[in-house]
């Protein structure tokens, strides 16, 4: 059975940056594969396009330019926020809000996003809201483990899960569906 719309796909992959032999930043193994409904819009479009037609047992090598993945770094996504926004019960939480930490935030419109703390001053917290893999070319090597018809329940769950806060996908997303530390983003799909 080939990968087409509304097929449940299970695959392994190694995700590298800095070339096909570059730094390994994420992995989906046979024990913890990436599982997703193909065509549900939860994966990076180019990644999904290049998987179409593959069958169980097929190996793949997919190279995505940063434009095909998470785009270039957007300087407008690096902002200074007033430090008072981070007060909890009148106190600044320097255990959570510290340089190098990724902090879940919400936009004025209610959109969930993660910001990387870059700098803390007396007045502001400088945060980067770019995707952690923005500006990076991505190199995937993997294998299709299974392709089958998705159940109505799996399709319905995918539609409901589309609002999980990721850019809809794995590969650089977060653990259990939306992460930044190389978790198996198949829960939110390779396209976060």
Same structural domain for residues 41 and 58?
A: yes
Q: Work out the number of other CB atoms within 10 angstroms of the CB of residue 41.
A: 14
Specify the pTM.
Answer: 0.72
pLDDT tens digits in sequence order for the chain, 192 residues long: 999 999 999 999 999 998 888 999 999 999 999 999 999 988 999 999 999 999 999 999 999 999 999 999 999 999 999 999 998 888 998 889 999 999 999 888 888 999 999 999 999 999 999 999 999 999 999 999 999 999 999 988 877 654 433 333 333 333 333 333 333 333 333 333
Which residues, 6 or more positions from 187, have their beta carbon under 8 angstroms from its beta carbon? 170, 173, 175, 176, 177, 178
Same structural domain for residues 11 and 48?
A: yes
Same structural domain for residues 30 and 53?
A: yes
The answer to whether residue 63 is domain-embedded is: yes
Q: What domain range includes position 58?
A: 7-70+135-187
**DSSP secondary structure, 88-113, as one string:** ETTEE-TTTSSTT-EEEEE-TT--EE
By the 8 A CB rule, do 15 and 27 touch?
Answer: yes
By the 8 A CB rule, do 104 and 175 touch?
Answer: no
Same structural domain for residues 118 and 150?
A: no
Kindly report the CATH number assigned to the domain that includes residue 42.
Answer: 3.10.50.40
Same structural domain for residues 34 and 88?
A: no
């Amino acid at each position: 059975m080939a990968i087409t719309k509304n097929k449940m796909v299970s695959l392994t992959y190694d995700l590298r940056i800095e070339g096909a032999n570059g730094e390994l930043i994420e992995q989906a193994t046979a024990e913890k594969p990436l599982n997703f409904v193909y065509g549900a819009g939860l994966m990076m479009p180019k990644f999904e396009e290049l998987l179409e037609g593959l069958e169980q047992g097929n190996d793949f090598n997919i190279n995505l330019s940063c434009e095909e993945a998470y785009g270039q770094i957007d300087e407008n996504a690096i902002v200074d926020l007033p430090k008072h926004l981070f007060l909890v019960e009148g106190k600044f939480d320097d255990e959570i809000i510290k340089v190098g930490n990724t902090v879940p935030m919400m936009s004025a419109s209610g959109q969930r996003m993660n910001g990387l703390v870059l700098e803390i001053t007396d007045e502001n917290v400088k945060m980067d809201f770019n995707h952690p893999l923005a500006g990076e070319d991505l190199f995937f090597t993997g294998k299709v483990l299974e392709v089958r018809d998705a159940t109505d329940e799996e399709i319905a769950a995918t539609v409901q899960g589309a609002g999980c806060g990721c850019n809809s996908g794995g590969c650089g997303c977060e653990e259990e569906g939306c992460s930044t530390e190389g978790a198996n983003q198949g829960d939110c799909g390779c396209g976060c």
